Amino acid sequence: MSEMQFTPAPGLSVGVELELQLVRAHDLDLGRDAQDLLARLAKRRLPGAVKPEITESMVELNSSVHARYDALRAELATLRDAVVKEAGVLNLRVAGGGAHPFHNWADRRVYPTERFRAILERYGYLAKQFTVFGQHIHVGCPSGDDAVYLVHVLTRYVPHFIALSAASPFYQGEDTSFQSSRLNAVNAFPLAGHMPFVRDWAEFLDYFGKMRGYGIVASMKDFYWDIRPKPEYGTVEIRVCDTPLTVARAALLAAYAQALAAYCLAERPHAPSRAIYRVNAFNRFEACRFGLRGELVDPFKDRRKRIGEDILDAIAAAMPHAERMGGAAALGELAADVRRGYSDADWLRARYAASGSLRDVVRESSELWAAPG
């Protein structure tokens, strides 16, 4: 299993993947133009990469690896500008958000790669329903054992990332009452959820070997866990975030993940425990349904707490590490948003309340995505 050898990443580096909506300018519904857009982008020299995703209505923006928040944010802005410009030539708009508000999943077409066709063959209609849009955050780890530790301990903070990124209140033309409805589509997959409780990298390799031996998985890509180790990159990958409405907010979330991981690795505030997973489903649901206003159960202190309040406490604990890595301003900006109760989901609902049109919501969110900053 040479591909499962854990290759340490430099320091606590950070990188992100952003899945983006490709929207037809004339009716604001999702288009089917990923191939044409990617062909145009292939002619440009860009940092990072832009890749296909499971359906032709989306692309995935990949940053390169960064040590500091400001460099990541600048690169994401460069990539955004290139994608928006080339999409405009094709009469497309580009938008963030975790779900398109009114598209019909049955209209989607799977992108023609061998892997995506295999997913369609295995999962049927779920593959098309997987036209939802997320941000994945990779944080570098010094070893496989540290990666296992981080996956377990960061699971305690999964509600933070859901609430801070929540941007999918509408789905199939309806207000779902959720701040983040996107994860309900992910939950349908049998290999979603969380990594099993293993003590170290050796035990994880034993688990992975058994799963591959059963024919259940072929690689780490087949696990749709909330957080998973990525041995070939030397990272842990946080996968629960909706794609935010701006690259600026995407960079803020990455800075928070980087600082939180640094805090956990340096200070070891929590010992890995099965108790994390005892309350994980409840905590995750509260964050999806209510966002910052939801409650979580702290498995280490056996008490309930507002998610927003818990985020502020975690930001305070991680701030010294953010200062060392250049992310203090980013965490301060996130904390200010939490205190005023801001979320992208509420922004989208406010746009709908003002106009009464989900098409206007898509138009305004695509304008927000394209705006400088």
pLDDT (tens digit per residue) in 89-122: 999 999 999 999 999 999 999 999 999 999 999 9
Q: What is the CATH number of domain 2-370?
A: 3.30.590.20
pLDDT given at position 2: 73
> Can you tell me the distance from the alpha carbon of 126 to that of 84, in angstroms, rounded to the nearest whole number?
29
> Can you tell me the distance from the alpha carbon of 373 to that of 367, in angstroms, rounded to the nearest whole number?
12
> Can you tell me the distance from the alpha carbon of 72 to that of 8, in angstroms, rounded to the nearest whole number?
20
pLDDT given at position 373: 83
> Can you tell me the distance from the alpha carbon of 8 to that of 289, in angstroms, rounded to the nearest whole number?
36
> Can you tell me the distance from the alpha carbon of 366 to that of 358, in angstroms, rounded to the nearest whole number?
12
Answer whether 6's CB lies under 8 Å from 235's CB. Answer: no
Express each pLDDT in 209-230 by its tens digit. 999 999 999 999 999 999 999 9
Tokens 């857009």 sit on residue:
37
pLDDT given at position 346: 98
> Can you tell me the distance from the alpha carbon of 141 to that of 236, in angstroms, rounded to the nearest whole number?
7
- Give the CA dihedral 7, 13, 19, 24, nearest 10 degrees: -130
Answer whether 244's CB lies under 8 Å from 95's CB. Answer: no
Domain boundaries, the chain: 2-370
Which residues of the chain are under the pLDDT cut of 50? none
Q: 3-class SS at 118?
A: helix
The string of DSSP letters for 200-268 reads: SHHHHHHHHHHHHHTTS-SSGGG-EESEEEETTTTEEEEEEEEPPSSHHHHHHHHHHHHHHHHHHHHH-
Q: In the structure encoding, which two tokens stand for residue 251, read together?
A: 């960079």
Q: 3-class SS at 360?
A: helix
